[in-house]
Amino acid sequence: MADMTETMGPSTLREERSKTQFDVEAMKLVWAGSAAHKKVADKMKVLVANDPVFEKSSRPRLDRKSLYKNSLRKAAHAWKLIQDNHLTEEEASSLRHYIDEPSYNDLHWGMFIPAIKGQATEEQQKKWLPQAYKMSIIGCYAQTELGHGSNVQGLETQAVFDPSTDEFVLNSPTLTSTKWWPGGLGKASTHCVTYARLITDGKDYGIHGLSSLFVSPFELAFIAPIRSLDDHSPLPGITVGDIGVKFGNGGYNTMDNGFLRFDHVRIPRDNMLMKLASVTREGKYVKSGQPKQIGYGAMVYVRTTIVVDASNMLSRAVTIATRYSAVRRQFGTEKGKPETQVIEYATQQSRLFPLIASTYAFRFVGEWMNSLYADVLARIEANDFSTLPEVHACTSGLKSITTSITADGIEECRKLCGGHGYACNSGLPELYAAYVPACTYEGDNTILLFQVARFLMKALSQVGSGKKPTGTAAYLGNIQKLATENCKITQGREWLSYDVIIEAFQARAARLAGACALKLSKAPNAEAAFEEFATDLAEAARAHCQLIIVEKFVEKMRSQIPGRGVAEILEVLCYVYALDLVRINAADFLSTGYLTSKQISLAKDQLRSCFKKIRPNAVALVDAFDHTDHYLSSILGRYDGDVYPNLYKDAQEEPLNDSVVTEGYAAYIRPVLKNQLRQSKL
C-alpha cells in the first residue's frame, strides 16, 4: 500500500515561508489596523475555532431546515458567550465575524439598531435601544418589496394615520407591496423597521410629484412588532414567512430572508421614527428641518461596513488560492526534480497577484471609509450636512466596485485551484455563494454607480459656475489641465512613481466624466440623456472609484509603515494594483488619448517585473491576513499545506460512502444493468 501520509505540501510551504523578504508579524499589524484591533481579533478567532458549536465544515451537506436550526443554535451560543464573558461591543462583533455564518444577528446589529439610532428621536431611542441591546427583541430591516427594491420611491406599503385612536394602520394593499427579502424576517425577528408611505390628513406623503409643500419623497420608517414576545407566533394581521432556498449549498441559506404582509395592523403613533419628520396628535405632518437624505442613513452605514468587509472576504479566497498554487504541481518534470509549482506559471501569477494587491488596496480604502463615516457622523451631530453627498457617493461607488471585484475574485480563485477548487471542501464555492449577493443587496451595483455619476455631473456643473470641488472630487477642479496634457513617460521605470500613477487615473476619470457632462449638456432633456448615456456614466463612475482606491493606497504608502521590508513589498503591491488596472482598462486610457499604446505596453512590462518581486513573498503576504484554518474552512488553504491526505480523508467521510454498495443499487442500477427496467417499478 502506498504511503498516504507523506506528501510535499508541508515542506513546500515551509520552503516558501523561508524565502520571505519582509517581517510577517509587522505586516499582520498593518493588516489589522492597530495592535488593539489585532488583540481582539486574535482572542475571538481562537475562541470560535476551539468551540465545537461553531463547527462549519458540514454546512454544505446539511438540508435547509438543519442548516437554519444549526445557525439559530450558533447565534444563541454566541449570545451566551458574549454575556458570560462580558464581551465588549468590538469583541462581540468580532466573535460574530469569526463564526462566519449569515444570521439574523447581521440585520439586528447591522441595520435594525443603526436605523433606530439614525432615525429615531432621543426619546424613541431610549425606549427601543435598551431592548434591542439586550436582545429582548430581535429586529430586522424591512424595506424591499416584491415589486420594488432599487426604486425605493416605488414602495407601496401604507401607514395611514388614524387620529381617532392615535395610531398608524399598516397595510399591504397589493401583492407587489409584500415585503420581500429582509434578512431575519422569515423566522427569527420579533420586530422590524419597516418603510411605508405615510398617509395622514388625506394626503399621501410618499408620492413623488405632488406639490413639494406636502411631499416627502422618502418613505418613512416605522417600528412594527410582528411576532408575539410570549410564543413567537405572528401577531394579528401579520402574515410572515421565509421566501425559500437561495443560491448554492450553505451560502446565504443560513439566513431566513422573509416575506411580510400587513393587514390593517395598528401600531402606536410613536412607533413612527420621528427624527426626520413627525406626525402630531392631530395628524399634522411636520418636517424636522434635517435633510431628507438622513432617512437613508442606515444604508450609508451598511455600505461602509460592506466596503470594509470586502477585503476580508477576498483575503480568504486569495489565501486559499495562493497556498494551493504553491502546493500544486503540474508539468515541467526535470530529471530527479519535482514538477513545477503552478504558482511559477506567468498566467497563474497574472491572475493571482493582482488579487492579492486588490485585497490590500481594499483594506486601506476600507480604513479610510471608516474614518470618512466617523467624520460625517460627527458633522451631522453638529448640524453640518455638507459632506453627506460625497459620503453617499463614496459609499455607493466603493460598495459597488469592491463587492463586484471581490465576488469575481473569489470565483477566479476557484478557477485558479483547478478541479479541486470546485469541491466544497476547498471552501470556495460556499464563500462565493455567501458573498455574491453583496453585489445586489444594499443597492444593486449598477444602480449605485449611477449615484456616483450624478455626484460627478453635479460637481462638474459646479466647476462650470466657478465653485471648487472638494474631497474625492477635488481633481475635477483641475479638469482643464487633466483633459489637455497627456502622459509624458518614455521609459518603463517611470511608471513606478506615485505621481505618474495618480495623474493617469485622474486624467482618465476627469476625461470620462467630462465627456459625459458635455453630452448631457447638449441634450434637451437631462433625464432622458442620463438614460441614453448610462453606460458611459457608469464607466466614468467606475473610473472615479478606482482613482479613489489608488489614491488611498498611495496615501497609506506615504504614511509611516514600520517593519523590515513591509513598506517595500506594499509598494510593489500598490504598483501591481494600479498597473493591472491600467492593463484592464487600456481601452479607456487609449480612447481618452491620455496614454499611447507604447506607454501601455511599458506599464505591462513593469507589471511583469513587479510579479517577480511578489513571487518569493506570495505565501507570506497571505499568511499576514492571519486566518485560522477554522475560519478558512478549506483543505486547499490549510496553513500546513497538507492537502492531498486531507482530501483523501474527507472523501472517506462522505456520507454517500457509508455503504459500499449504494442504496439505490437494487431499485435503479441493477434493473438497468440486467435489462429489467420494463418489469421494475420506479
Ligand X SMILES: Cc1cc2nc3c(=O)[nH]c(=O)nc-3n(C[C@H](O)[C@H](O)[C@H](O)COP(=O)(O)OP(=O)(O)OC[C@H]3O[C@@H](n4cnc5c(N)ncnc54)[C@H](O)[C@@H]3O)c2cc1C
Ligand Y SMILES: CCCCCCC/C=C/C(=O)SCCNC(=O)CCNC(=O)[C@H](O)C(C)(C)COP(=O)(O)OP(=O)(O)OC[C@H]1O[C@@H](n2cnc3c(N)ncnc32)[C@H](O)[C@@H]1OP(=O)(O)O
Of 331, 343, 518, 517, residue with least CA distance to 417: 343
Site for ligand Y, residues 168 to 197, rule: CB under 6 A: 183
Among 128, 141, 205, 625, binds ligand Y (CB under 6 A): 141
Pairing verdict, β 179-180 and 220-225: unpaired
Kindly provide the residue ranges of all beta strands, DSSP E only, lying in 524-675, ordered along the sequence: none
Gap between the Cα atoms of 526 and 537, Å rounded: 13
DSSP count for the chain of H helices, then E strands: 25, 12
Please give the distance of CA 408 from its chain centroid, rounded to a whole number: 12
Q: Does residue 385 bind ligand Y (CB under 6 A)?
A: no
Q: Does residue 296 bind ligand Y (CB under 6 A)?
A: yes
Least distance from C-beta 519 to ligand Y, angstroms? 19
Q: Which is nearer to ligand Y, 339 or 375 (CB)?
A: 375
Q: Which is nearer to ligand Y, 27 or 307 (CB)?
A: 307
Pick the catalytic residue: 442, 503, 539, 571?
Answer: 442
Gap between the Cα atoms of 5 and 3, Å rounded: 6
CA–CA–CA angle 312, 318, 321 (5° rounding): 150
Q: Does residue 93 bind ligand Y (CB under 6 A)?
A: no
Binding-site partner at residue 302 among ligand Y, ligand X, none, CB < 5 to 8 Å by type: ligand Y
Least distance from C-beta 389 to ligand X, angstroms? 19
- DSSP of 343-356: GGSHHHHHHHHHHH
Q: Which is nearer to ligand X, 125 or 257 (CB)?
A: 257
Among 299, 512, 570, 579, binds ligand Y (CB under 6 A): 299
Site for ligand Y, residues 424 to 453, rule: CB under 6 A: 441-443, 447, 451
Collapsed DSSP state (helix, strand, coil) of residue 195: strand
Q: Does residue 461 bind ligand Y (CB under 6 A)?
A: no
Whether the Cβ atoms of residue 301 and residue 398 lie closer than 8 Å to each other: no
Q: Which is nearer to ligand X, 411 or 503 (CB)?
A: 411
Whether the Cβ atoms of residue 295 and residue 301 lie closer than 8 Å to each other: no
Binding-site partner at residue 421 among ligand Y, ligand X, none, CB < 5 to 8 Å by type: none
Point out which residues bind ligand X (CB under 6 A): 107, 141-144, 148-150, 181-183, 252, 257, 437, 440-444, 446-447
Least distance from C-beta 648 to ligand X, angstroms? 35
Of 389, 390, 377, 395, residue with least CA distance to 307: 395
Q: Which is nearer to ligand Y, 442 or 623 (CB)?
A: 442
Residues in a beta bridge with 170:
159, 265
Residues listed for the chain: 682
Gap between the Cα atoms of 504 and 586, Å rounded: 11
Q: Which residue's C-alpha cell is 463586484? A: 404
Binding-site partner at residue 186 among ligand X, ligand Y, none, CB < 5 to 8 Å by type: none
Among 293, 478, 591, 609, binds ligand Y (CB under 6 A): 293
Q: Does residue 150 bind ligand Y (CB under 6 A)?
A: yes
Give the number of C-alpha atoms closer than 13 A to the C-alpha of residue 212, restricted to the C-beta side: 1
Gap between the Cα atoms of 509 and 541, Å rounded: 8
Q: Does residue 304 bind ligand Y (CB under 6 A)?
A: no
Quick one: angle between helices 346-381 and 388-416, nearest 10? 160
Active site residue 167: no
**Binding string to ligand Y for residues 333 to 372, with x set by CB under 6 A, is what?**
----------------------------------------
Q: Does residue 469 bind ligand Y (CB under 6 A)?
A: no
Of 370, 238, 237, 353, residue with least CA distance to 305: 370
Whether the Cβ atoms of residue 619 and residue 322 lie closer than 8 Å to each other: yes
Binding-site partner at residue 388 among ligand Y, ligand X, none, CB < 5 to 8 Å by type: ligand Y
Binding-site partner at residue 157 among ligand X, ligand Y, none, CB < 5 to 8 Å by type: none
Q: Does residue 326 bind ligand Y (CB under 6 A)?
A: no
Q: Which is nearer to ligand Y, 219 or 503 (CB)?
A: 219
Gap between the Cα atoms of 619 and 638, Å rounded: 12
Q: Which is nearer to ligand X, 200 or 253 (CB)?
A: 253
Binding-site partner at residue 305 among ligand X, ligand Y, none, CB < 5 to 8 Å by type: ligand Y
Least distance from C-beta 377 to ligand Y, angstroms? 13
- How many residues bind ligand Y, per CB under 6 A? 26
Binding-site partner at residue 425 among ligand X, ligand Y, none, CB < 5 to 8 Å by type: none
CA–CA–CA angle 554, 556, 557 (5° rounding): 60
Q: Which residue's C-alpha cell is 420611491? A: 153
Binding-site partner at residue 604 among ligand Y, ligand X, none, CB < 5 to 8 Å by type: none
Instruction: For residue 43, give the C-alpha cell.
Output: 482572542
Least distance from C-beta 152 to ligand Y, angstroms? 4
Q: Which is nearer to ligand X, 50 or 150 (CB)?
A: 150
Site for ligand Y, residues 102 to 121, rule: CB under 6 A: 106, 110
Least distance from C-beta 192 to ligand X, angstroms? 9
Gap between the Cα atoms of 27 and 562, Å rounded: 9
Binding-site partner at residue 490 among ligand X, ligand Y, none, CB < 5 to 8 Å by type: none
Q: Does residue 392 bind ligand Y (CB under 6 A)?
A: yes
Gap between the Cα atoms of 175 and 103, Å rounded: 27
Give every CB contact of residue 130 below 8 A, 6+ residues apart in sequence: none
Single-letter code of the amino acid located at 368: W
Q: What dihedral do alpha carbons 653, 655, 661, 662 form, nearest 10°?
A: -150
Residues in a beta bridge with 329:
341
Residue nearest to ligand X (CB): 149
The DSSP call for residue 246 is -
Q: Is 492 annotated as a binding residue?
A: no
Q: Which is nearer to ligand Y, 28 or 392 (CB)?
A: 392
Least distance from C-beta 147 to ligand X, angstroms? 8
Site for ligand Y, residues 632 to 661, rule: CB under 6 A: none
Question: What is the CB neighbour count within 10 angstroms for residue 516?
Answer: 24
Q: Which is nearer to ligand Y, 110 or 250 (CB)?
A: 110
Least distance from C-beta 71 to ligand Y, angstroms? 14
User: Considering only 136-144, 198-206, 365-373, 468-476, which stretch makes contact with ligand Y by CB under 6 A?
Assistant: 136-144
Q: Is 144 annotated as a binding residue?
A: yes
- DSSP of 392-436: HHHHHHHHHHHHHHHHHHHHHHHHHTHHHHHSGGGSHHHHHHHHG
Residue nearest to ligand Y (CB): 110
Question: What is the CB neighbour count within 10 angstroms for residue 558?
Answer: 9
Annotated binding site for FAD: 144, 183
Instruction: Extract the annotated binding site.
Output: 144, 183
Residues taking part in catalysis: 442
Which residues bind to ligand Y, rule: CB under 6 A?
Answer: 106, 110, 141, 143-144, 149-150, 152-153, 183, 217, 293, 296, 299-300, 302, 305, 388-389, 392, 441-443, 447, 451, 454
